[in-house]
Structure 1
Amino acid sequence: MAQTPKDTLEHSEVVQQSDSLEKGDQANNKYRSEYDDEDRAPEARGRDADEMAPGYWLSSRFLGSMAAIGLGFCGGTGGYALIAPVLNDINDDIGPSDNIAWVSIVYILSEAVFFLLVGRLSDVFGRRWFFIVGSLISMVGSIVGAVAQNVNTLIAAEVLIGIAAAFQISFYWVISELVPMKWRYVANSYAYMVSIPTNPLAAKIAFAFQKTPVKWRGSFYFMTGVNALSALCWFLFYHPPTFKMLHRKKAAMDLFLHFDWMGLVLYTGSLTVFLLALSWGGQLYPWSDPHVVGCIVTGGIALFLVFPAWELWLQRRGKDTFLPLHLFTNRVYQACVWITGIGAATYYGFSLVWPQAVITLYSIDSYDRLGTLSGVVAMCFVFGQMFGGLLATVIGPRWTVISMTWIAAPIYIACAANPLNLTLTMGLITTGSLAIGASEAVAATTTTFRLRTQEELGTAGGLSGAIRSFVSALATSIYSTVLANRLTTTVPQYVGPAAENAGLPSRSVPALIAGLQGSGPLSQSAVPGLTSAINATAAQAYKYANSEAYKTVFYTSFAFGGAGMILAWLILDNDKSKYGLVAGHVHNPKNEKTLETVPAAENA
């Protein structure tokens, strides 16, 4: 078929554009690394922001991609944050079920396992369809959750939502790829801002839905819409380099056959088993239970011994490994990754523990107030994430992380001063959450700078996300176990004597404690000798017993915060000479075929 003048003109413009990109690529040697893949087409390589096409930053494909990323992040966070605060209400509605704890467990587990897969595979095979599919999976999960009639169906929904979250919460390195390095911190602050309804305000919105006819299902309806819109934006606007742009001289089948699939299987299998054990321990089973011990031993050996040994063996044979091992010798990168994990440990750990404290320690008679107080940790953490990006842009990441970490860790310990004092505890926990949120966000973004090549951004981001989730699961397990163990001591220690001194027969104390904990009725027939006066005295003692247990949880937080205070000193400021680099960008899909078939350097 003969080309029309219009076709010829468009082809010529694309060739000229590609030639220009090639020349610009050659001129940008200051951004090049000895590790960069020369097999990439010029369109798939990083370049200076000044060389971007006029109007690119206001183009529909760039702004639409940013919208897709922000909406995707909303979907990833909301699928968990909107459900966690009302989990007990959900269990009352479609349960009761002993499996309700799995709703939270499977989300964190699925997210952790898939983080590295998303980053590594999208580095190799291209990003576009990974993120489209991610939002579609989250949409399906939200629909399943919205129509769930039992807890097991809800668990299945959260498995899908957790898998999708690994795509959606990878926003920080996807955004970092699209904007100049100088503006990465600000761009990530934008994503946190978009997530306000499903992240910092999630608890308040969740309780607000509880006052509507649809109740908690409203959160899933809302998430279905958010994920559908996100998937649409990914599909319409997000056109990063395709596989053919990433690999001009390699066939897809060749890469597929030589990919380290054994490493992928070892990693996903061992991490799943190990995290499963951490999630079980102290919650579903005692730590000494064979289920827990067996999974910790098996998963630990496979994850920390067998998998690294396989990767080392493969590397020595000159083969590409699933996980580039040089990332573990990158000191600054590793410091940033683990500080990110420590920040997330606070978010996830206290997002579960603090709402329990609010319900148990304080007399809250309003759903609105309960939603506000329960969500204060998440609110301040995310507001800190927004603030941290702006601060790092001004003073640099090093002193931002050091100052915020050194503020947060001691403040969380100070929360143990008097947990029954709502005003004091709220003042401390909000300040600490703001500071640790700022530290976490800046550390996460800084992981995208300290790489030997920006072409491994997805892999490095995926590993960072996996470690973040690993530390979160560990912290959540530790906090829950510490709280449960302390309550078994403090409740009998304070409630029994107080009730007996008020006149309750000692034989009625176990039934009284069961009633106060919600595992039995709290009535005169169930608790012989109970009076309103004894009940009031016992309730006060029960609050005090809980406050003593929560003190230990706040003390325990320093195990993470103290480590962060040390790691913070390993972080360095970024190389400002590379601040103009745009690691990747989105192209006009109309020119895609031509850009794939016109390697300008070879046709010059």
Structure 2
Amino acid sequence: MADTKEDLPAGTVSHHEIAPEAEKPQLSHEEELRGRDFTISENDLPRGYFRSASFLGSMFAIGLSFGCGVGGFTLVAPILGFIDADIGPDPNLTWVAISYLLTNSVGLMLVGRLSDLFGRRWFFIGGNILATLGCIVAATAPNIPALIAGETLIGLGAASQLSYACRCHQTKHLKFLWGIPFSGFATAIGYAFVFQSSVGWRGVFYVLIAMNVASTLAWFLFYRPPYGRKTRFLKDFDYIGTFIGVLGLILLLMGLSWGGALHPWKVAHVIFTIVVGFVLMVAFVLYETFGNLKEPLLPIRLFRNTGWVITIIPWALGAAVYYALAILWASMVATLYSGGHSAMWAGWRSCLSNCGILFGEYCGAWGKRKTNYQIMVVFLIGSVLLASMATCNHDTPVRAMVLVFLAAAFIGYNEILNSTVATIVIDDQREIGTATDIAGSARSFISTMCSNVYTVVLTNRLAETIPARVPAALLAAGLPSTSIIAFLTAITAGTPAAWDASSSAYSTVFLTTIAFSGIGVMCSFFAPNVDHLLSKDVAVTLHERGTEMVVGGSDGEGRGEGVDVDSWPSYVS
């Protein structure tokens, strides 16, 4: 795939198009060559490269895989209650979603580094095969444990499916197209299968099976990057660090997901998993730093790049807003605004936050330059709008819908810029997979923590506001005291007192976002300017079957000068 240093989507211009040559920052020879050893100017590409079957087929594979990776979670999460009613009930229902997030976070950490070392083609093919198997298991699941097993495989496969879409700039626009049905309208589609089809919730997985099969074939037939000998990395690979890091991340995320939501924080197994996971992650970092490793899983030098680190934080906090809105807005619609309306009405209104994210990403994709200033502005505005949701209650549905869409749009704008800059600002482009997927793993980790905080705050506030406000209002309305407990059990039917109590709880949660948004706003002021790194060069090109070698130049007829495959390192994309 054509990974370019101009990893900002369409409309971005190269630095030499916006400033005289004399104004460009002068880079050393080593800086110019680092990770760009095989860069090819756009003018030197073979004729018709961007119209070739390899390029177009790979674009299709990337876009469809992205839809599969996103849909494996977003299509399923909104209808878990209906699935539980069909093949449950099971107290472990929440693990359907948690298993996806856990395995996806761990998978991202592994896929980036391993594909940098061993090449990407079979990682992407293998990831799609794994996701296909997961969808088959989920589609035929007779119970919730089987569904959890399916989502575990889907999450692992999604690590590769979501990986390339985040670091290849041509896919940024495809991402929006595939994201419309599988992110923007995911809730409505899930509801439609449940309420308006004969196959029910299993239809979601039938669609995902077909998509995964098609994307697997597209990867196999069209994606053919250059490759080289990779066996030497097997001997030097960081097996010990990988084991420690993976185990530590799994335990830490499990503990954070359990605490406050599924179990009280003081429960022994919650404390144990968090503490052991944290200790293992500390040991992992120390081992990667001082272990004198030839091929570490986590190159610590990445964290010496201040611009890269600064970029990850607002990116991750933006993702936390995405997940928070996915939880809070759908719940808010169902609790405060769905009275007297159909289930599909609630499903469509629940799509507003995800549609806002996509709209913002699309707008941000056309940002041409000075992305650091754009990030400062959009993150601040999005944060203010999100906190303003605290002013909404049962009587302000229109205000809530407008604010949630606009807040999500500005946060989406922030996400697309930071996710792009994260691929450009790294010092060594040979580690683009490692850097991007470690950032993605950190994004998932921070999102999990923030989402858990929002969920716990909402649960605790509802536990306070409903008993404090609803019984008094019911007694004043003439309801016998002996009937209050039964009424509270059925409170989802909706009463003014219940709406007031719920509105107060949601307001508290949206005010809680200020703490995380404040951190992101401060980091945004230090966002790096990457204008000087933008060009129209192509770092790595795709080739037809049997010609998987680098095109080093063009003779004017579109015939590149071949380079012996054995001279190519294994990090090429």
What SS does structure 2 have at the residue aligned with 1:448? Answer: helix
Residue identity in the other structure for 2:286: A
Q: Which has the higher contact order (CA 8 A, sep 6+)?
A: 2
Structure 1 partner of 2:502: 546
Residues 412 and 554, structure 1, Cα contact 8 Å, conserved in 2: yes
Structure 2 partner of 1:227: 212
Report the CA distance shift for 1:547/1:597 in structure 2 as closer, same or farther (over 3 A).
Answer: closer
- CA displacement at 1:221 relative to structure 2: 0.9
Report the CA distance shift for 1:195/1:396 in structure 2 as closer, same or farther (over 3 A).
Answer: same
Residues 31 and 47, structure 1, Cα contact 8 Å, conserved in 2: no
* Equivalent residue runs for 1:398-547 within 5 Å: 398-420=372-394, 421-516=396-491, 539-547=495-503
Residues 310 and 524, structure 2, Cα contact 8 Å, conserved in 1: yes
Residues 238 and 293, structure 2, Cα contact 8 Å, conserved in 1: no
In the alignment, the residues of structure 2 paired with residue 404 and residue 209 of structure 1 have an alpha-carbon distance, to the nearest angstrom, of 36
- CA displacement at 1:32 relative to structure 2: 6.8
Structure 2 partner of 1:182: none
Residues 78 and 199, structure 1, Cα contact 8 Å, conserved in 2: yes
Normalising by the residue count of structure 1, what TM-score does the alignment of the two structures yield?
Answer: 0.84
* Equivalent residue runs for 1:128-527 within 5 Å: 128-176=121-169, 187-210=171-194, 211-244=196-229, 252=231, 254-303=232-281, 305-314=282-291, 317=292, 319-362=294-337, 363-390=339-366, 392=367, 394-420=368-394, 421-516=396-491
- CA displacement at 1:281 relative to structure 2: 0.9
- CA displacement at 1:358 relative to structure 2: 0.7
Structure 1 partner of 2:19: none
- CA displacement at 1:485 relative to structure 2: 0.5
Residues 369 and 531, structure 2, Cα contact 8 Å, conserved in 1: no
Normalising by the residue count of structure 2, what TM-score does the alignment of the two structures yield?
Answer: 0.88
Selected match of 1:579 from 535, 545, 557: 535
In the alignment, the residues of structure 1 paired with residue 299 and residue 42 of structure 2 have an alpha-carbon distance, to the nearest angstrom, of 28
Residues 226 and 565, structure 2, Cα contact 8 Å, conserved in 1: no
- CA displacement at 1:241 relative to structure 2: 2.2
Residue identity in the other structure for 2:360: G
Structure 1 partner of 2:11: none
In the alignment, the residues of structure 2 paired with residue 262 and residue 430 of structure 1 have an alpha-carbon distance, to the nearest angstrom, of 45
Residues 370 and 531, structure 2, Cα contact 8 Å, conserved in 1: no
What SS does structure 2 have at the residue aligned with 1:557? Answer: helix
Residue identity in the other structure for 2:435: A
Structure 1 partner of 2:69: 76
Q: Tell which deviates more after alignment, 217-226 or 574-583.
A: 574-583
What SS does structure 2 have at the residue aligned with 1:199? Answer: helix
Residues 111 and 163, structure 1, Cα contact 8 Å, conserved in 2: yes
* Equivalent residue runs for 1:76-155 within 5 Å: 76-155=69-148
RMSD, matched Cα: 2.2
Residue identity in the other structure for 1:450: V
- CA displacement at 1:50 relative to structure 2: 1.9
Residues 106 and 250, structure 2, Cα contact 8 Å, conserved in 1: yes
Structure 2 partner of 1:63: 56
Q: Size of the alignment, in residue pairs?
A: 529
Structure 2 partner of 1:10: none
Residues 315 and 443, structure 2, Cα contact 8 Å, conserved in 1: yes
In the alignment, the residues of structure 2 paired with residue 31 and residue 165 of structure 1 have an alpha-carbon distance, to the nearest angstrom, of 39
In the alignment, the residues of structure 2 paired with residue 146 and residue 320 of structure 1 have an alpha-carbon distance, to the nearest angstrom, of 39
Can you list the C-alpha shifts for 1:493-550, whole angstroms capped at 9, x where unaligned?
1111111222233343223212325xxxxxxxxxxxxxxxxxx8x7221111111100
- CA displacement at 1:190 relative to structure 2: 2.6
Can you list the C-alpha shifts for 1:253-290, whole angstroms capped at 9, x where unaligned?
x3112111111111111000000011101121111111
What SS does structure 2 have at the residue aligned with 1:322? Answer: coil
Structure 1 or 2: more helix by fraction: 1
In the alignment, the residues of structure 2 paired with residue 238 and residue 590 of structure 1 have an alpha-carbon distance, to the nearest angstrom, of 12
Residues 99 and 155, structure 2, Cα contact 8 Å, conserved in 1: yes
* Counterpart check, 1:561 vs 2:538: no
- CA displacement at 1:459 relative to structure 2: 0.3
- CA displacement at 1:224 relative to structure 2: 1.0
Structure 2 partner of 1:24: none
Residues 66 and 175, structure 1, Cα contact 8 Å, conserved in 2: no
Can you list the C-alpha shifts for 1:377-436, whole angstroms capped at 9, x where unaligned?
11111121111111x2x2432122111101100111111112321111111111000000
Structure 1 partner of 2:555: none
Q: Report sequence identity in percent.
A: 35
Residue identity in the other structure for 1:504: L
- CA displacement at 1:172 relative to structure 2: 3.5
Structure 2: state its 5+ residue gaps: 1-25, 550-561
Q: Tell which deviates more after alignment, 414-423 or 460-469.
A: 414-423
- CA displacement at 1:309 relative to structure 2: 1.0
Residue identity in the other structure for 2:373: W
In the alignment, the residues of structure 1 paired with residue 47 and residue 481 of structure 2 have an alpha-carbon distance, to the nearest angstrom, of 81
Report the CA distance shift for 1:541/1:452 in structure 2 as closer, same or farther (over 3 A).
Answer: same
What SS does structure 2 have at the residue aligned with 1:175? Answer: coil
What SS does structure 2 have at the residue aligned with 1:320? Answer: coil
- CA displacement at 1:481 relative to structure 2: 0.3
What SS does structure 2 have at the residue aligned with 1:100? Answer: coil
Structure 1: state its 5+ residue gaps: 1-28, 180-186, 518-535
